[in-house]
Amino acid sequence: MKGVFLESPGVIKIKDIDDTDDIPEGFIKIRVKSVGICGSDVHYYLHGRIGDFVLEKPMILGHETAGITESNGNNIRKGDIVAIEPGLPCEKCKYCKTGRYNLCPDIKFFATPPVDGSLREYIIYPEEFVYRAGGLTTNEAGLSEPMSVGVYATGKAGIGPENNVLIVGSGSVGILTAFSAEAHGSNVTLCDINMDKIKYARKCGFAAFLNDEIHDKYDTVFECSGMATEFAQNKTGKGGDLFLIGMGNTSGLNPLYISSNEITVHGIFRYSNTFNDAIKIIKKYRNRLKPFLEKNIGIDNLDSYLKNKEYEKYLKTIVEL
């Protein structure tokens, strides 16, 4: 079978890898059909590292994965459309034992060096982390990974119809978080500094504005841009909650503002126990999620797609295998 490897920064190679029908107990074989390209894939392609995770040998890219099963499990039947959760936790540490397995220090997460990702024709994977997504297309099912980030953060926030929610950053994570917040019944506004991103949020049916046009304060603010923590803090009202989803931000928070307004700041790292809810939300909003499905490419086009920075033009690009 074929797999798409990042050999070194800027170098993509499609290589043959061994295929097997030797499926261990508790595992499922999946024919991968859809892998969404994420900012982290692009980042590894450009720089060969994210923080302490450094590409030291060729690695298969991709972690936003859906496909069709080729074997039977306990709940999953051959031929099911499924989404794959990309992180396999150790299931032994204190975080795993308390359900916070996103914090597991030994988690093996697709396309995070040295763990290979999902851009390959077949994967044999624990059934426990494979989710049925019948009724969705494989491309829609693949959105359950980025949707999970929003499901997790909005679940932690405990928001409801009484809450005014602001989402700072209208990229794919921001918009998917907006869908999750709306699913809780909250009144949702998005903002960004980039008009193209605002247009995408509006295309998905949301109220979206330039940052400069946001004058109100909100009960709950989700910072999804990774670049506007201070702005997001200043839009969080008295007694409110600020969730930091975007990574890479270096601008500071103001302890005086936080304490005098009694704001609670929450860090968010990936997600846990979210995929079934993510799939439900995708089903609910599938018509409004169409802008996420506009750009599809084959594995042979990925190299030129990355070289030409085409990802800058689309809300989401999906590699179809």
Decide: is 318 part of the binding site for Zn ion (CB under 5 A): no
Q: Give strand pairing partners of 125.
A: 28
Q: Which is nearer to Zn ion, 41 or 241 (CB)?
A: 41
Contact between 103 and Zn ion (CB under 5 A)?
no
Helices in 89-245 by DSSP H: which ranges? 94-97, 138-142, 144-157, 172-183, 195-203, 229-234
Cα 176 from Cα 315, distance rounded (Å):
11
115 makes contact with Zn ion (CB under 5 A): no
Among 35, 84, 104, 306, binds Zn ion (CB under 5 A): 104
Task: Output 125 or 218, the one with its CB closest to Zn ion.
Answer: 125
Of 50-58, 102-110, 158-166, 190-198, the window that binds Zn ion (rule: CB under 5 A) is 102-110
Whether omega before 114 lies within 30 degrees of 0, making that bond cis, reads yes
Q: Measured from the CB of residue 26, what is the shortest distance to Zn ion in angstroms?
A: 18
Complex with Zn ion: residue 93 or 124, whichever CB lies closer = 93
Q: How far is the CB of 130 from Zn ion (least distance, A)?
A: 18
Stretch 75-94: interaction string toward Zn ion, x if CB under 5 A: --------------xx--x-
Among residues 178 and 263, whose Cβ is nearest to Zn ion? Answer: 178
Strand, helix or coil for residue 53: strand
Alpha-carbon radius of gyration of the chain:
19
- Which of 35, 38, 141, 191 is close enough to bind Zn ion by CB under 5 A? 38
Q: Which is nearer to Zn ion, 61 or 104 (CB)?
A: 104
Asked if 42 touches Zn ion (CB under 5 A), the answer is: no
Which lies closer to Zn ion via its Cβ, residue 105 or residue 255? Answer: 105
C-beta neighbour count of 32 within 10 angstroms? 24
Alpha-helical regions (H) of 211-294: 229-234, 255-260, 275-284
* Closer Cβ to Zn ion, 114 or 239, answer by number: 114
Rounded Cα distance, 69 and 33, in Å: 10
Cα dihedral value 139, 141, 147, 149, nearest 10? -110
Residue 63: CB minimum distance to Zn ion, A: 6
Alpha helical stretches, state H, the chain: 39-47, 94-97, 138-142, 144-157, 172-183, 195-203, 229-234, 255-260, 275-284, 302-307
Judged by CB under 5 A, the number of residues near Zn ion is 6
Residues that bind Zn ion (CB under 5 A): 38, 89-90, 93, 96, 104
